[in-house]
Copies of this chain bind each other. A is one copy, B any other.
């Protein structure tokens, strides 16, 4: 039996969605999911104020009886607690898998920077509410149970990392940013205009000079603009990679959708498959 602590460092999860995830986990077996009460708290935009979210996050990560910490939802807000969290983590936090994406990329980044546990990009509990979301949650639960079936198919023998593009842009140059020298960095985005994607690529490619390359996840739900941008998301990725000398390595099977695959940070995928 693997025991999975769950907290919500940004947005809350709805009770009905948590219940659906619990039902699904029970039908699969082998996992005990523990939704921290903070997952359902509410404070303006957030699942509780900064102190509440920080406390729950630290409790879950430092719980010696839990094997993993799964983030309930993204939204926005994990960057407000990440720096304080990592310095409060003890030995029990070292041996955990941490799974999330989107806004929780701030935490994955900070954990990776500080060498704490095994951060991985992948579906969160709240993904149950997406179209086809059951498959996404099954993939996450499988990974948390020890399966490698849900790993992103293009991960090779180079260290990897995956981020929402905006999250990565906001991380660059901050005290949460890990050293990604030699890493294959995958990025995905949702609900941003293509000109904003271009702007974000300008920013991140200026900061990622030492990476092994960039792979492009899905850029989904692009809003209609008053005029067409005139270039595709792959044109954009190729343009800024070429300008900065970063190898562009093609598409990645990640995105803000139910098909979002799992990317363990660093060389963890290789270790899992060995």
Residues of A within 8 A of B (CB): 43-46, 76-77, 79-80, 166, 169-170, 172-175, 194-196, 198-200, 202-203, 206-207, 225, 227-231
Smallest CB separation, A232 vs chain B (Å): 11
Are B199 and A79 neighbours in the complex by a CB distance under 8 Å?
A: yes
User: In the complex, A60→B173 CA distance in Å?
Assistant: 34
The interface residues of chain B lying within 8 Å CB-to-CB of A198 are 76, 80
| Additional A-B contacts beyond A43-B230, A44-B229, A76-B198 (11; CB < 8 A) | A76-B195, A76-B199, A79-B199, A80-B198, A80-B202, A166-B199, A170-B200, A172-B203, A174-B202, A174-B203, A174-B206
| Cβ-closest chain B residue relative to A177 | B206
Contact of A231 among B44, B194, B202 (CB under 8 A): B44
Report if A175-B206 is in contact (Cβ < 8 Å); known contacts: A76-B199, A170-B169, A195-B76. Answer: yes
The interface residues of chain B lying within 8 Å CB-to-CB of A169 are 169-170, 203
| Cβ-closest chain B residue relative to A196 | B76
Smallest CB separation, A103 vs chain B (Å): 9
| Cβ-closest chain B residue relative to A82 | B202
* Listed residue (A45, A166, A173, A202) with the most chain B CB atoms within 10 angstroms of its CB: A45
Number of copies: 2
Are A45 and B170 neighbours in the complex by a CB distance under 8 Å?
A: no
Query: Which 6 residue pairs of A and B lie closest in terms of their CB atoms, listed nearest first?
Result: A44-B230, A173-B173, A174-B206, A76-B195, A170-B203, A45-B229
Smallest CB separation, A77 vs chain B (Å): 8
Q: Sample 16 A-B pairs with CB under 8 A, ordered by A number.
A: A44-B227, A44-B228, A45-B195, A45-B227, A45-B230, A46-B230, A76-B196, A76-B198, A77-B195, A169-B169, A170-B203, A172-B173, A172-B203, A173-B203, A174-B206, A175-B206
User: In the complex, A166→B43 CA distance in Å?
Assistant: 26
Are A202 and B170 neighbours in the complex by a CB distance under 8 Å?
A: yes
User: In the complex, A175→B44 CA distance in Å?
Assistant: 37
The interface residues of chain B lying within 8 Å CB-to-CB of A200 are 170
* Listed residue (A77, A166, A230) with the most chain B CB atoms within 10 angstroms of its CB: A230
Smallest CB separation, A273 vs chain B (Å): 35
Smallest CB separation, A4 vs chain B (Å): 27
The interface residues of chain B lying within 8 Å CB-to-CB of A225 are 45
Smallest CB separation, A70 vs chain B (Å): 23
The interface residues of chain B lying within 8 Å CB-to-CB of A172 are 172-173, 203
User: In the complex, A206→B170 CA distance in Å?
Assistant: 10
Contact of A170 among B46, B174, B175, B199 (CB under 8 A): B199
* Listed residue (A172, A175, A228, A229) with the most chain B CB atoms within 10 angstroms of its CB: A172
